[in-house]
Amino acid sequence: MRAEVLLVFVGATLCCTPVCTQQVDPEEKELSRDLAWVRKAGGPLEEGQGRGKGDAELSDEPAGAVEDGKTKPKKKKTPEEIEAARAKKAAEKEAKAKKQKGPKPTKKPKLPKPTKKPKPTKKPKPTRRPKTTTTAPLDEEERLLIELGLKTPIEPSTPEEPTEPGQDEPTVRQTDQKEIATTEVIMYIPEETTSVPFNGSWYEEYDYTDLAVKKQEEEERERKEKEEKAKQLRKKWEEEEEERLRQTSAPAKPKDCPPLGLESHRVEDDQLLASSQSHHGFSAQRGRLNMQSTNDEDDIYGGAWCAETEEKEHWFEVDARREVEFSGIITQGRNSEKQEDFVSSFFVAFSNDSRDWTVLHDGYAEWLFYGNVDKDTPVMNQLAAPVVARYIRILPQSWNGSLCLRAEILACQLPSSFHSENEVNSSDDLDFRHHNYKEMRQMMKTVNEECPNITRIYNIGKSSNGLKMYAMEISDNPGEHETGEPEFRYTAGLHGNEALGRELLLLLMQFLCREYKDENPRVRRLVDGVRIHLVPSLNPDAYELAYEMGSEMGNWALGHWTEEGYDIFENFPDLNSILWGAEDRDWVPRIVPNHHIPIPENFFNGSLAVETKAIISWMERNPFVLGANLQGGEKLVVYPFDMQRPPQSLTDNRRWRVNSEMNEESWARIQRQNMGALRETPDDAMFRWLAMSYAHSHLTMTETYRGSCHGDDVTGGQGISNRAGWKPVVGSMNDFSYLHTNCFELSIFLGCDKFPHESELPLEWENNREALLSFIEQVNRGIKGVVKDVEGNPLPNATISVEGIQHDVRTAAGGDYWRLLNPGEYKVTAKADNYTPQTRLCLVGYEPGATPCSFTLAKSNWSRIKQIMALRGNRPIRLVKRPPRTTPPPSTTAATETQATSHNADRLRRLRLMRLRRLRQQQRSRVFRTTTATTTTTTTTTAAPKTKTTTSWYDSFNDNWLTENPLDIISFDSQPTQDYPFELTID
């Protein structure tokens, strides 16, 4: 009966049921119910007939359809609804696969996680079914369902599924999967391509929660990677855009090369050529950067190369003499006080043989460079990439006024087998670079820390902007003046744009320090025997301005003056006019001294720079013997006088000629001065020797075959010149130092280029090193000594006079002195107030070192003489001899009267002569007092100048002498002269 009912049910199912799917649908649910009912009606199966030992029981509902052991009744769906549901599920599955997301949990109870081992709890543990590898025999119902295509054979598996705690019955499980070996044909519906129905092992292999978290983390990581990649791409795109904009707006940074040497004259005259020249004074050799014109530039030398305007093609050519890398051109207009001539645009061409020329091209057309807009400011044009060639030409295209040009070429030397000037490397390991104010101070501090036992840093004052003017003292006992040790000074930076002297002094500091530590005998002799002062910058404000512009871009005047507009070198008191005025009136040395001329008091109330006041105070504090200031713009050594002396009148010449005291040498010197020749000092021979000691020790200063930097050679091939005969100035530092102190000061012009490029500093150091040391050694030339009294006390401010040289020196605070003299025999006299003068014969030899020549002075009665003169108002006293009284005999009355008459006439004649002499002496003394008042010279109560007529009056006061004073009957009237406006008045 059971079999019959089953056959009827199967037939009905085949006729009415559509194709079964792998997914559970309502028809399958109905079938499951029927099967369950059939089983129930037929009774339980026999043990082992339809299930294995580990088989699970079949459930009425598939997994996922059961919720808490309860099923929800649903209506039967039509085939169309089932098909639509399938399509919807397939679409949802595809969408989920695209999103790469795991299945979201539904409201249905979560499935257990088979991958995680359950922790031991009080809840019942899930039971495991034993693993089976053999195929279990199928019961009659399963075999029938497989034959009808309602069920597919399932491979055996070993699921491990825990039971849900709290449920009476186990969860829905799929039947045991067994291997079924059958040869029967299994019918499949073509539309059904779905997977095997749900079983428990599927949940054991996948953990949806972990998978969702992992996928979320992966998506977050991918999102971050995409954002980072997008950010990098955006940054890279921005950088490329900036680079593209920068390349389109401005060319790449060109190569930085030093100047070829037009301004410094390392490029010879024959290396410069031009298409034409307007006239002789404007040749191609004048086309150097910062070239200065002479006073008459139209007839002698102009300040630029100027082309002939009628020419059609214009060019200025430079021959480097070998292949170099040209990297830029600096141009400048014409130096002129009247004309504004400069080139405003030009082309540049290159060649290796001076025949075939290639004009520089920028890719579209010939590269047009823009030049100057005024005549003084340099303009630099740099090439985008260096051009290797030997010749370069500047082809002017437009200009203002006349076609005039000054230029400098920037070029890097290529490595070669032979020596080049640009490749000179000094053997001394020094800091060859330009230093600003902060770096200079740090450099001096470094030297002081390296050699603290022989160096000391101090400042001599401040500039107008408050910058300190630092000095470095180098001596074996720094900070103290040692008796018998001369003091020497080097100064630089009077003009801020003359930077070479500044760097040379910084290099000299380093050199002396290191060589002293290395036991160099020459340096040790200098440091132990001389107190050396080095001041690298006397005008720090102006140097900072020039340093900011750079080596080649500052013009000739930028940084020349102080912040207040003063030229420090020409800002000192004019003592020359005071001395020469006194010499013209024969007041030297009796009324006006020939040395240590006082500074007029009203001078400090006038135009005086702050830096000048500091320098004057520094000079007066230290007993300098020799010094030099380092300047630039020329290459020579100049010595005083720096000021031209006014020509003397014919009456003065006659007066000087009839003076029997003047020797032939002095007469010849005055004649040369009257004819407009050199303005020589009394120590002219000594100054010439000092100048030659530096110029001839310099490696290139005497190479004057090409002329000077801006004109003809004025040194006669010697590299030295008198400043007044070259370029006279008024109130110079050199003249002031010579007339107001003991120091012999010179000016050393180091080169044509005021601010040389940093690469040229090693070469300049090699050129000047020996000269710097040799000039310091000249401080020990001549005589030296100490002036003391008989008790051994030093006498400060004693005067040392040398016969034949009308210039004296004074002793220092310790009584020591130094007098620079050339080899020879000299009669030297030491004089001091209240002491008897002493004269010695001193011999100066050719061997190194000064000759000792000391003096010991005894006290005199000058104090009593001063008291007597003070009683008479410090006026000269004349002694008149009284004639002897005789009593004539009474018999000779007529003869006596005749004798008395003749005697009275003789007496009157003598009185007249005496009055005339007194008048002249009174005029001299009153002129002396008037001169000291008008020139604001400080007057002190000193003895009147000693003359020939007043040397023997003190020794005899007796009845035979008569003192008279005829000043009451004499009138003193004087008028100021045209050259020297001194007025004589009566106090």
Query: What digits encode the pLDDT tens for the residues 500-558?
Result: 999 999 999 999 999 999 999 999 999 999 999 999 999 999 999 999 998 888 888 89
535 contacts 466 by C-beta, under 8 angstroms: no
Lowest-pLDDT range, 30-39, 622-631, 780-789, 831-840?
A: 30-39
- 928-936's contacts with Cβ under 8 Å and 24+ in sequence apart are 928/587, 928/590, 928/591, 928/592, 929/987, 930/982, 930/983, 930/984, 930/985, 931/582, 931/587, 931/591, 931/592, 931/982, 934/982, 934/983, 935/578, 935/600, 936/600, 936/601, 936/602
Q: Which two tokens stand for residue 228?
A: 């980072």
CATH fit for domain 272-413, picks 2.60.120.260, 1.10.10.10, 1.25.40.10, 1.10.287.70: 2.60.120.260
The Cα–Cα gap between 923 and 905 comes to 27
> What is the phi/psi pair of residue 805, to 5°?
-125, 110
The domain made up of 785-867 has a fold known as Immunoglobulin-like (2.60.40)
Q: 3-state class of 552 per DSSP?
A: coil
Q: Which two tokens stand for residue 208?
A: 């949806």
- Please state which CATH number belongs to domain 437-645+678-780: 3.40.630.10
Q: What is the predicted pLDDT for the residue at 337?
A: 87
Mean pLDDT for 60-87 is: 57
CB under 8 Å to 864, separation ≥6 — which residues?
none
Tell me the pLDDT tens digit for each residue of 76-122. Answer: 567 777 878 888 888 887 777 666 544 444 444 444 444 444 444 44
Residue of 679 and 892 predicted with greater confidence: 679
Mean pLDDT for 256-279 is: 93
The Cα–Cα gap between 226 and 404 comes to 65
CB under 8 Å to 345, separation ≥6 — which residues?
368, 369, 370, 371, 396, 397, 398
Q: What is the predicted pLDDT for the residue at 604?
A: 82
Return the closest-CA partner of residue 640 out of 533, 731, 709. Answer: 731
Mean pLDDT for 717-735 is: 93
Amino acid at position 152, single letter: T
Tell me the pLDDT tens digit for each residue of 342-381. Answer: 999 999 999 999 999 999 998 889 999 999 999 999 999 9
Q: What is the predicted pLDDT for the residue at 642?
A: 93
pLDDT band at 169 (very low <50, low <70, confident <90, very high): very low
Determine what percent of the chain is predicted with pLDDT higher than 90. Answer: 47
Q: Which two tokens stand for residue 489?
A: 């000074």
The Cα–Cα gap between 325 and 255 comes to 9
794 contacts 815 by C-beta, under 8 angstroms: yes
Ramachandran bin of 959, using left for φ above 0, alpha for ψ from -120 to 50, beta for the remaining angles: alpha
Tell me the pLDDT tens digit for each residue of 226-242. Answer: 999 998 998 888 888 88
Q: What pTM, to 2 d.p., does this model score?
A: 0.65
Lowest-pLDDT range, 124-128, 375-379, 586-590, 632-636?
A: 124-128
Residues 616-648 as b or e (16 or more Cβ within 10 Å = b): bebbeebbbbbbbbbbbbbbbbbbbbbbbbeeb
Tell me the pLDDT tens digit for each residue of 602-661. Answer: 888 878 899 999 999 999 999 999 999 999 999 999 999 999 887 765 444 444 444 445
CB under 8 Å to 112, separation ≥6 — which residues?
126, 161, 162, 164, 203
Match 């399932």 to its residue by tokens.
154
The Cα–Cα gap between 829 and 834 comes to 15
Lowest-pLDDT range, 378-382, 408-412, 595-599, 648-652?
A: 648-652
List, in sequence order, every residue forming a beta bridge with 330; answer none if it has no partner: 380, 408
> Does 769 score more than 60 pLDDT?
yes
- Where in the chain are the domains? 272-413, 437-645+678-780, 785-867
Tell me the pLDDT tens digit for each residue of 557-570. Answer: 899 999 999 999 99
Q: Which two tokens stand for residue 505?
A: 């002094």
pLDDT band at 672 (very low <50, low <70, confident <90, very high): low
Q: What is the predicted pLDDT for the residue at 541?
A: 95
Determine what percent of the chain is predicted with pLDDT higher than 70. Answer: 67
> Does 302 score more than 60 pLDDT?
yes
Return the closest-CA partner of residue 287 out of 434, 394, 433. Answer: 394
Q: What is the predicted pLDDT for the residue at 243?
A: 82
DSSP 676: T
Return the closest-CA partner of residue 308 out of 183, 396, 415. Answer: 396
DSSP 173: B
Q: Best-predicted range by mean pLDDT among 63-72, 153-162, 871-880, 944-953? A: 871-880
The Cα–Cα gap between 21 and 83 comes to 11
Amino acid at position 720, single letter: I
> Does 796 score more than 70 pLDDT?
yes
Tell me the pLDDT tens digit for each residue of 821-879. Answer: 999 999 999 999 889 999 999 999 998 899 999 999 998 887 777 777 777 777 666 65
Residue of 526 and 907 predicted with greater confidence: 526
Q: Which two tokens stand for residue 892?
A: 């000779």
Q: What is the predicted pLDDT for the residue at 250?
A: 54
Number of H helices, E strands in the chain: 20, 26
The Cα–Cα gap between 736 and 744 comes to 10
Return the closest-CA partner of residue 396 out of 377, 371, 362. Answer: 371
Q: 3-state class of 463 per DSSP?
A: coil
> What is the phi/psi pair of residue 964, to 5°?
-130, 155
Tell me the pLDDT tens digit for each residue of 388-399. Answer: 999 999 999 999
Return the closest-CA partner of residue 471 out of 480, 458, 462, 461. Answer: 458
Match 């999103």 to its residue by tokens.
99
Handedness of CA 81, 85, 91, 94 (dihedral sign): negative
Residue of 880 and 822 predicted with greater confidence: 822
Match 């207040």 to its residue by tokens.
564
Q: What is the predicted pLDDT for the residue at 664?
A: 59
Q: 3-state class of 35 per DSSP?
A: helix
Return the closest-CA partner of residue 30 out of 77, 84, 63. Answer: 77
Q: What is the predicted pLDDT for the residue at 638?
A: 96
Task: Kindly provide the residue ranges of all beta strands, DSSP E only, lying in 848-986, ordered along the sequence.
Answer: 851-852, 855-857, 878-881, 961-964
422 contacts 758 by C-beta, under 8 angstroms: no
> Does 340 score more than 90 pLDDT?
yes
Q: What is the predicted pLDDT for the residue at 408?
A: 96
Return the closest-CA partner of residue 380 out of 547, 558, 549. Answer: 549
